[in-house]
Amino acid sequence: MSDRRTVLVRYDEIGLKGKNRGQFIDRLLNNIKDQMRDVEGLEFKVPHGRIFIYCCEESAGECLRRLQKIPGVASASIGVTREPDFDAMAAVGREWIEPLLQDGKTLKFCVRTNRADKSYPYKSPEIDREVGSRILRELHPKGLEVNIKESDFVLEIEIGQEETVVFNNRVPGLRGLPVGSSGEVLGLISGGIDSPVALYRMLKRGCRAHGIFFDNRPFMGRGGYDKVIKLSKLLNGFQRKSRLYVVPFEDIQVAIRDNCRPAHRVVLYRRMMYRIAQRVAQQNRCLALVTGESVGQVASQTLENLSAVSQVVSMSVFRPLIGMNKQEIINEAKELGTYEFSIEPHPDCCSVFMPPRPATRAKIPDLERDETRFGWSSLMQEAIEKMECIELDALTV
């Protein structure tokens, strides 16, 4: 029995949800089970305010590693379940602390208790004292000291109504809401630095974030497509069951390039992308579009151009990065792990489609006039018919 571990999963925002709380917790539990599907011998329990995972010592580390990637988890710890008995709890502390003691050096420790079961006959500070003094009695001669403010080792105890868990480390989770609790969204993903970060922010808010990629082949090579698949797989690791829609976009770009004012090209491309994304979102029960735009970053992201683009869709468009600086986005991409993929040098647009001087303040009537010069509706239909849908869970490589 000694190798049995109790992994404690804490959540925070879910705790605030009134009557829907049960649904949120079920969703989180299901997401955790799904992410742990190939770890054998796990048992789950949902006591008040926590999720417990019982497992062997070897699996506990893997559980902890995966929990850090599951939206909705506030933090997690590996502990052991014990009787709420001072001697039994102190024995765990001694077992963990003793190997850390070194000759001639002192180690500072303290005990912190969270007493959720108010029927337990001792209050938290009393438990701290009782358990702490039992550990100190044996290990003081070997250099152990009590220090509540600057501890090298914190032994934590949670006394719940159903069981008592002793642990000593909390690893932070992503926080936020469990994926699926807020519905599904469709994010425009380009292979650049920004869009994966935008999708990531939405999936942390409980949205299952599918991607839609506008493919430049055969003007550009397969490199951009491969890169977007890598990015999407990475994002799918946080949520599972997400999809990537790949829309052939060259015919539309060529039509705009050949028929419309050069300065308007980029905004016209974006308007077509938004229209197609809305149609795909509607067909696939997605409730909003997500983009990685931030004000003023490039010519297509001025306030005027952003509204000229939004005007073609009725669906909500979320731009989680709208007020962020480039460096802040880069930092987040690095933390997320998408940055290294995003900077692979596969251009996402052929230079022939870029205008020499893009309009920074395109006027909607002018854009609409341009759009009468090519049959965008049938081109859009054709692109959607040729679209590829990739189930990211099914990708093995």
Partner 1 sequence: MIYLDNAATTPMDPEVLDVVQESMRKDFANSGTVYSLGLDAKQRIEEAENQIRESLSIPQNFKIIFTSGGSESNNLFIKGYGFPDKRVASSGLDHPSVSQTLEAFRESGNEPVSLLSYQKEGRLDLSALPHLKARKVRLLCLSHVNNELGSVNDPATLLPALAEQSPQTRLFLDGVQAVGKLKPQPRMWQGLAGYSISGHKINGPKGIGLLIVDEKLELKPQIHGGQQQHKLRAGTLPVPLIVGLAHAVKKAVEITDETLKNNQRLFRHLVAGLKNLADQNPDMDIQYNSSLSEDVSRQSPSILNFRFAPVEGEVILHHLEENEIYVGMGSACSAHSKEPSKILTGVGLTPEEARCSLRISFGPQNTIAEVDAFLAAFDDAYRQLFSTFNRKTASR
Contact 190, 213 (CB under 8 A): yes
Q: Which residues contact 368 (CB under 8 A, 6 or more apart)?
A: none
Size of the site for partner 1 (CB under 8 A): 19
Q: Is 104 or 345 the residue whose CB approaches partner 1 more closely? A: 345
Pick the stretch among 10-18, 24-32, 86-94, 251-259 that binds partner 1 (CB under 8 A): 251-259
Pick the stretch among 53-61, 122-130, 194-202, 253-261 that binds partner 1 (CB under 8 A): 253-261
Sole binder of partner 1 in the list 254, 380, 384, 387 (CB under 8 A): 254
Residue 309 Cα to chain centre, angstroms? 27
The CA radius of gyration of the chain, in Å to the nearest whole number, is 27
Give dist(CA 29, CA 63) in Å, integer: 13
CB of 356 to partner 1, least distance (A): 9
Sole binder of partner 1 in the list 27, 115, 201, 257 (CB under 8 A): 257
CB of 385 to partner 1, least distance (A): 19
Q: Which residues pair with 146 in a beta bridge?
A: 109
Binders in 213-232 for partner 1, by CB under 8 A: 217-221, 223
CB of 370 to partner 1, least distance (A): 10
Under rule CB under 8 A, residue 262 binds partner 1: yes
Q: Is 41 or 345 the residue whose CB approaches partner 1 more closely? A: 345
CB of 43 to partner 1, least distance (A): 49
Under rule CB under 8 A, residue 375 binds partner 1: no
Q: Which residues pair with 51 in a beta bridge?
A: 9
Backbone angles phi, psi at 48, to 5 degrees: -60, 125
Give dist(CA 248, CA 317) in Å, integer: 22
Q: Is 57 or 344 the residue whose CB approaches partner 1 more closely? A: 344
Q: For residue 121, say if its preceding peptide bond is cis, omega within 30 degrees of 0.
A: no
Backbone angles phi, psi at 301, to 5 degrees: -115, 25
Give dist(CA 186, CA 245) in Å, integer: 9
CB of 223 to partner 1, least distance (A): 7
- Least Cα distance to 363 among 238, 267, 276 occurs for 267
Under rule CB under 8 A, residue 258 binds partner 1: yes
Give dist(CA 371, CA 311) in Å, integer: 14
Binders in 327-346 for partner 1, by CB under 8 A: 345-346
Q: Is 108 or 217 the residue whose CB approaches partner 1 more closely? A: 217
Backbone angles phi, psi at 392, to 5 degrees: -70, -30
Sole binder of partner 1 in the list 261, 304, 322, 330 (CB under 8 A): 261
Pick the stretch among 84-92, 190-198, 203-211, 348-356 that binds partner 1 (CB under 8 A): 348-356
Under rule CB under 8 A, residue 357 binds partner 1: no
Q: DSSP letters of 264-326? A: GHHHHHHHHHHHHHHHHHHHTT--EEE----TTSSGGGSHHHHHHHHTT--SEEE-TTTT--H
Under rule CB under 8 A, residue 382 binds partner 1: no
Sole binder of partner 1 in the list 88, 313, 317, 350 (CB under 8 A): 350
Residue type, 232: S
H or E stretch at 26:
helix 21-35
CB of 224 to partner 1, least distance (A): 11
CB of 352 to partner 1, least distance (A): 5
Binding site for partner 1 (CB under 8 A): 217-221, 223, 254, 257-262, 345-347, 350-352
